[in-house]
Structure 1
Amino acid sequence: MTKKTPAERAPSIPRDKTDNFTDSAIEARHDFISERTGVSVAHVAHTSQDPAQLPGNLENPIGTAQVPLGLAGPLRLNGEHAQGDFYVPLATTEGTLVASYSRGMRIISEAGGVKTTLVERYMQRAPVFHFADARTARDFGLWFKANLADIRAAAEGTTRTGKLSHVEHYTIAKMHYTRFNYTTGDAAGQNMCGKATDAACKWIMANFSDAPIRYTLSGAIDTDKKHSQLNTIHSRGARVVAEVTLPRELMMKMTRCDTRDLYRARQVSTLGGLHAGTTNNGLHAANALAAIFIATGQDAANVAESQAGLTYVELLENGDLYWSITLPSLIVATYGGGTGLATQRECLEMLDCYGAGKVGKFCEIVAGTVLAGEISLSTAVVSDEWVNSHDAHGRNRP
């Protein structure tokens, strides 16, 4: 292959090494886009976001991607952290989505509200330690547990907020896989946990003298930005349950659906999901999560983990329907990351969920919203309104 000369290489994106977040640096990139592609970025460039606030969130800024924002609600929450009626901002380009979630929220509210329970919340980093044989790897695990207090001190010395709760251990072949579990305050905490765990690993390297040792900071069982069964079993982020009992008469009145038909539909859907190997036996948790994540400055890639869910329904003797969804790996934050950016902060403030001490409340609102969407879509399918609703509200027409 012929090596290109510097003159033949594609030009680099303009970048100001002293301050890449000034108006002039951004305008230089606008000119670059126009010269290279012939596209004017009038809409992309139109933003109220102060570029000086972007370091740490973005590189080479050129403007803002504007996603339409709608409001769904009211959603009545009977949670441990969230109580009352909430109006939820949803960023989406999918027609019918906001209307569908509003419908589900009205059903839940008329039924008395959704009960939400935050079971636990941890973030992980999962280093793997390498040895000459399996026996040494096993014995290292015993040494690790005996020295956990010192390992914890090394990890927590890097953070004011993160606390090492517990460590899981798995010996595989001649490697010892670990999974460090931290509480992270109101932050999602991936970077916090990475830094803390690296410090712990360095302490281990300096103090374990029984055998040669090396480590890889992530052995992949933390499954960052992807689903895993381990996350469903042991939780990643928050494990939160949303549940409601739907009176049969109310459902007949509001949705023209008999709870017995809804129960049967859930059985069919769960069986189909089992056959397909899905990670969620519900309908569309990712719709709510993506829309809320974009609106409130969450890491959108965490939808890959957060969408996993376990739906359980029970037809009661009086004909009412108990419905719950458990989200075992809901990764959200009310502090840090993109939550402090202008529009994202406003959306969190609409929910009274911005800043310290609010993440539990936000977890419960998100879980309640997911449940509302499950109920709304299920009733639309059972009552044969699904296609007509999308045809009426989900198509762009000139």
Structure 2
Amino acid sequence: MAPATSSPSSPRLISFIRRTHAPNNIRKQPPDSPKEKKYRSMSDIYARAKYAVVERDDYGNLMCEQCGSGDQPEELLLCDKCDKGFHMKCVRPIVVRVPIGSWLCPKCSGLKRVKSLSQKKILDFFGIKRNSREFKKKRSSASSQDAKKRRRRTRPLVLHKKKRRLLPFVPSEDPDKRLKQMASLASALTALHMEFSDRLTYFPGMAPRSANRADLENGGMQMLTKEDTETLERCRAMTKRGDCPPFMVVYDSCEGYTVEADGPIKDMTFIAEYTGDVDYIKKRETDDCDSMMTLLLASDASNSLVICADKRGNIARFINGINNHTLEGKKKQNCKCVRYNVNGESRVFLVATRDISKGERLYYDYNGYEHEYPTHHFV
């Protein structure tokens, strides 16, 4: 399923109405006012709400406590305790949706602010087994070796133009740039209280690994070729040593978290594997998780599997879907979701479907070939 988009409603207005009508959070009236007492009856509450409308102009000059700007007032949230303003994207963790009910800022709620991640914390977050000196200074030798491998593998491809093979991603050469890319992903995962996982995970109470059998797929599943398997393993090895794909996870007030290319991406480039916890679709039919992906569609529906990326996942979780009911939506699509049989197990990969330029956001069709999920609310 697609990441949910933010509501166009005004959180500022919602917060104001919530304060002016909540009997347990009533402000005191001016000292000279006869309404200084607390309200208990509904008539008193409505009378107070009418009086509070006069105070509405007090919020006209509201500023965000983090950035100090009053721009984009429709994204300003008011804390129900300290009555200070905060932009939804300035709060840490970021507020993706307009809160329903009361809302407290991180200071009043006691939540710790998501701080910028140091290089050591980034390496620890992704489990990269190398020290900082190696990360910064030994890139040249690895890149030259990768370039030689690419040159050797490029020559025979000319003889097989009809066979489109997966290409490995090309990491950014600047180590500081790669750190920023990894930091953007780590910050987004931390804000959603998620763990980084670059593999499918199986936990007790969910589907066991033995349930992931590609031969159960209704109509069969395409096999990943030997060459593409080598490409997949090569990309996994690069990620382990800190050579991440050139993508940035950014926040958009409408789309929420989304992914942008931080460098040129060629057609048929491997982007990421969709990872998370594996469970049976039957058990998740009423789940409101906004980041589920079909893993296996078996002839027997009770054997069908789904990937749930709400607790564990990687950058694939933040790539948004398109509205495949409109031509404008279809034009945005620049990558696709494909399922392969890899050593007898079903795996889900995201692959570029055309050349992607730097700064371009990534979109794919969540439905694939199933056309069962409504995508009218997608971009």
The TM-score range, normalised by the shorter chain, is under 0.3
What TM-score, normalized by structure 1, do the two folds share? 0.24
Greater share of helix? 1
Q: TM (normalized to structure 2)? A: 0.24
More strand by share: 1
